[in-house]
A and B are shown apart, each in its own frame.
Chain A
Amino acid sequence: MNQSLSINDLHVSVDGTEIIKGLTLDIPKGEVHAIMGPNGSGKSTLAKVLAGNEEYEITGGSVLMDGQDLLGMEIDERSRAGLFLAFQYPHEIPGVSNANFLRAALQARLPKGEEIDAVAFYKQMYARMDELEMDRKFTGRSVNEGFSGGEKKRNEILQMMMLEPTYAILDETDSGLDIDALRIVSQGVNAMRSPERGFLVITHYQRLLDYIVPDKVHVMFDGRIIRSGDKELALELEEKGYDWVKEELAA
């Protein structure tokens, strides 16, 4: 069985407009792949489609997660099967505390009739929060409600660390983080890197990739991957801008 998140000739439309136009990408377990690309090129759409968002219509292609047909699964099934998306714009859940939300998410992974061990859960959560230098008061606050931009992003990573996914997609997790937070969050992500886990990191900035060093960098433009390379590609992009790849593509 192929141990990877494997996207093959994916086509996605919304309201009759095609946004992803034949995208192929393979993220093997153990690797970190970065996607960079101009605003509106379809990066977040790709992330949401992988997670199962029903706003989008898949008009062609396939996605296999470790050989399983991802597109045939429900949103929550994909999550429980090991797919995680750190949202570009995390949602607020009024009245539901961070701790209760995490607990419910972990509980959903247990077989029917089995109860989560509350003591072990809190211990685990506090340890992860310490790694992310998050204040304990965030456990009692409603999920993302009134959180600053950076706090929301940090909270996404806390959830990732608690849920221990097989494949994690981070959509612009770096935007909104201050310099220290960027370092702390990156350390958290790096600590999660393992031969058993793959990452797809969406970002606009090379800076993040100094901390989370990618195995591959892809450039997305107008719904396709137009160029792939190693980490040097990110540096080159930073220096020359997207016009450079676009021109090369046109040539």
Chain B
Amino acid sequence: MPHDNATLEAVSIDQSEGNFSFPEAYSFDAGYGLSETVIDYISDAKQEAEWVRDFRKRALKIFLDKPMPTHWASKDLENIKFDEIRYYLAKGQRPTRSWDEVPDDVKQTFERLGIPEKERKFLAGVEAQFDSEAAYSNVKEELEKQGVIFVNSTEGLREHPELFRKWFGKVIPTGDNKFSALNSAVFSGGSFIYVPPGVKVGHPLQAYFRINAENFGQFERTLIIVDEGAEVTYMEGCTAPKFETATLHSAVVELVAMKDAKIQYITVQNWSNNVFNLVTKRGLAHENAEIRWIDCNIGSRLTMKYPGVIMKGRKARGEVISIALANDGQHQDTGAKMIHAADETTSNVVSKSISVGKGRSTYRGQVHIPKHLKGCKNNTECDALLINSQSRTDTYPAITVRGNQHATQHEASVSQVSEDQIFYMQQRGLSEAEAMSLSVNGFVNDLVREFPMEYSVELKRLIDLEMEGSVG
């Protein structure tokens, strides 16, 4: 593959267009499979510094050397055909289709979820770019005034190495697991955010505002650094089902909350049935800092995701709130990792899973409190709801608490929507599907409240839709 200057020029970011979109006319093809050549290809296309190229190459080696995490959930991972994947798809190679080719059920779902017209085409894969500059410009101006940096990962590494290099790959080392290594080798897209000391960002920052082909990529890399006493909320994803052709998604998200800082990271994802969604997310909380992961996973063939917080400073707090919904043919393997590494640190995990039909949910948690620490607290609650007898749910909480100066609490429940309850609700005039969705919404209600308003409304509709299909 020749990388001539003209092509390189074409792919470079046009600064006059603003920080938030990629140029229209570029097209790259890194081919299938994974090799050093592919890595060079990506690095060239992104005009990366040597240290980033080296970082990628080291990661590739680790990825190739590392065995599949067989001790995890599922043999299904063995079905991923790494040689048949395109690791870097620029816009030119995105499969394009016309609106007429989008299946009716997908269109109906957009309708039912109330997805705005202009976003539907992007989500359906008809348009590779979602132009959100207008919607975003007000927020952007305000952010710039406050000194907040909000860019894509390519630009972050290139334009602000002094800020991002220090923490890049530090919260989640490349070798953390096979998929974090894969991401480190081929990452593309994702957000880089820096919030200066004391700045409290009023609006939640949304990846949604800056959707484009690359941003919704398979191997996103996000790094958020919130300096002392600063606060930010970040939201990614949306409830609309994504019309996917790529089957492997493997993101890495690293959060750094300095002293007294607060980060809230909200995810809502609705994957199609063919997707492996293998994500590594972790935050580092310094003294008296707070990191909250609020996570909703719907769909996918297999999702493996265990957001974590390392509480490194005294009085740091970590929280994971998650909702998982697994329908027929889907497996949600989710959980949380809470690593207490300082005195008086507090963590809270609330997980609710719903298994419908043959869907399967697994909770996998890890809470680690070493012996030498004092006054740490953990609360873990995991509740599973089974929609019919074929559903399956497992809970594997691993709570390692050494020493006796800590307080931990663990509750788990498995419940079913009983026929009697559905009968009662139907007697009041609700259809079976309505009764089921109301019950399921009731089950997750206290967690849905943690999501921003527009997400919680969409989530409710989405649950309605999922339940509609699940009853006869």
Contacts and interface: CB of A to CB of B under 8 A. Distances in A.
Contacts of A75: 423, 426-427, 432
Contact of B438 (A48, A96, A159): A96
B85 interface: no
Nearest to A160: B428
A76 B432 contact: yes
A93 B426 contact: no
Contact of A96 (B418, B426, B439): B439
Contact of B429 (A53, A93, A109): A109
Top 4 A-B pairs, shortest CB-CB distance: A95-B442, A96-B442, A91-B424, A75-B426
B428 A91 contact: no
B398 interface: no
A84 B429 CA distance: 9
Contacts of A55: 419
9 contacts: A53-B423, A79-B426, A84-B427, A85-B427, A87-B427, A93-B442, A94-B443, A108-B429, A142-B442
B438 to A, nearest CB: 6
Nearest to A142: B442
Interface string B427-448: 1111110110011011111100
A157 to B, nearest CB: 13
Interface in B398-457: 418-421, 423-432, 434-435, 438-439, 441-446
Interface residues of B, number: 24
B423 A95 contact: no
A235 interface: no
| Range, interface on chain A | 20 to 34
Contacts of B427: 51-52, 75-76, 78-79, 84-85, 87
B420 A91 contact: yes
Given A104-B430, A104-B434, A108-B429, A95 B424 contact: no
B428 A79 contact: yes
B428 A101 contact: yes
Contact of A93 (B434, B439, B446): B439
A94 B446 CA distance: 11
Interface in A81-95: 84-85, 87, 90-95
Given A79-B426, A80-B429, A90-B424, A104 B438 contact: yes
Contacts of B438: 93, 96, 100-101, 104
A217 B323 CA distance: 52
Nearest to B439: A93
Contacts of A51: 423, 427
Nearest to B442: A95
B428 A163 contact: yes
B303 to A, nearest CB: 24
A105 interface: yes
Interface in B248-302: none
Contacts of A95: 441-446
